[in-house]
Structure 1
């Protein structure tokens, strides 16, 4: 979009993650818009201050565990670094934006030094080298490769709704979950969001599309 500049055919920029939305704004890829529908349907804390992007769904990054093998599941992200969970944890690569975001959140909550110590503790507790996407972490629990994993909520919801060729109904029943840090800063949340492209050739229709994304019909897909 940046390379195409004014010749860009893009009307709507749609992506996951607040960082990506913020970067798009900083790069000048979006434009402010006015919409009474968006203002009415989307809380202010899920909007850009300048109305250049809006969130259309939220997801929590939570902990999943094997009910059979984990008698005392971790209650917080910090717990993942405890020695009692050695050789139990599956997680995505540090190059993944979800892993980077939860790490950045812990830096903000705990401080850089404590977050660094946490990361080292989690690495020490790996059941396997980081690999795959969020669904692969849940598959790791089902296969017995690991006992604890971190995933966005909707990946598990997708398995419940559509099933998975490698995860049986018994596997699903044996997977428990924890919304961590309920005694302090709570589970880490992120969004899917969108904004109108800076040089959108169909600006008004782009706004209408964003408004549609807040409708009951469209929200079913989120």
Structure 2
């Protein structure tokens, strides 16, 4: 009986060892990504990464709820890398302690300081400008975000909800530049200049200019590129000029798409490899061209279409500094009753 028990024990240890080795090999051959970015935008990059490294990329795409899911999964989460569409969502992950710090010479060398966290928990991958579009009949205009409150634009401006993350980030940048009191006054005057109640998405604002509902609109730069290559929406894009605001002073407000390593990343080394791959020259070029965005690397050129819009001066204030005013920005938007 003792001999049988010993044999069973040995078999159990061998079997357990086999399971451990199998799971280790599986972990060493994969990396898990939770992504707010759409599949068609990132899959080509992941396919190249797998071809180069042999590491399989498993992706879960989501429109919302990433932070809630990670918090619910806790230390048992399979997530290694988190991809987001803007700074607000990166900061949310950071503030809820869902990221871990990772730095390398590669990341620190190629990503400008203003587009990464000081504690190395998140990094930008691409950038986009919060542009001001103007109707073709007005021509290209020299305009500042501050000018959206000028009475000469009364009844002539369109925008999406002030509570959308893109506009919250813009308002936060205004607080960083001017303080809360002046930003509230700006929001109140900006609201008086609206041609209609805030609604729709960024593309819808360009469509509204095309329909002569307004003359001026806010919108992210990459949407302009996407409209220009869309058969129907090209008519909208052709009806406007894309203007880079604040070029004679602090520079245009820039937002980002970005990445961070999950706090409990089970495939830590593979995650590091993927993060560094995503800022390589080839990956940056492909990613930016697919998204109609600007590479975060300064030594990689944007696509020919994006470059055709001209060079611009970006606000040099770090996104981390701007993002700390997000809560205040939302309060001011409510106080100004911007969306009502």
TM-score by length of 1: 0.90
Aligned to 1:119: 187
Find out whether 1:37 has 2:109 as its counterpart: no
Distance 1:167 1:158, change over 3 A: closer
Within 1, Cα distance between the matches of 2:140 and 2:116?
38
The correspondence for 1:101, drawn from 163, 169, 172, is: 169
Find out whether 1:128 has 2:196 as its counterpart: yes
The correspondence for 1:192, drawn from 257, 269, 292, is: 257
After TM superposition, the structure 1 = structure 2 runs for residues 171-186 of structure 1, keeping only pairs within 5 Å, are 171-186=236-251
Aligned to 2:267: 202
Within 2, Cα distance between the matches of 1:210 and 1:13?
10
Contact 2:125 2:256 in 1 (8 A): yes
Within 2, Cα distance between the matches of 1:185 and 1:20?
25
- Number of residue equivalences: 218
Within 1, Cα distance between the matches of 2:94 and 2:220?
25
After TM superposition, the structure 1 = structure 2 runs for residues 6-85 of structure 1, keeping only pairs within 5 Å, are 6-68=75-137, 70=138, 73=141, 75-85=143-153
Q: CA deviation at 1:117?
A: 1.3
Contact 1:142 1:167 in 2 (8 A): no
- SS of the residue aligned with 1:93? coil
Within 2, Cα distance between the matches of 1:9 and 1:108?
37
Contact 1:31 1:197 in 2 (8 A): yes
- SS of the residue aligned with 2:82? strand
Q: CA deviation at 1:166?
A: 4.0
What is the CA deviation profile of residues 39-59 of structure 1, one whole-angstrom value per residue up to 9, with x for unaligned ones? 232223322122111111111
Flag structure 1 segments of 5+ consecutive residues without an equivalent.
Answer: none
TM-score by length of 2: 0.60
Flag structure 2 segments of 5+ consecutive residues without an equivalent.
Answer: 1-69, 289-340
More moved, 20-29 vs 146-155: 20-29
More moved, 73-82 vs 203-212: 73-82
CA RMSD of aligned residues (A): 1.8
Aligned to 1:158: 226
Within 2, Cα distance between the matches of 1:126 and 1:178?
19
Aligned to 1:217: 282
- SS of the residue aligned with 2:130? strand
More moved, 37-46 vs 89-98: 37-46
Q: CA deviation at 1:182?
A: 1.7
Q: CA deviation at 1:65?
A: 0.7
Contact 2:154 2:194 in 1 (8 A): yes
Task: For CA contacts below 8 A with separation 6 or more, give which structure has more relative contact order.
Answer: 1
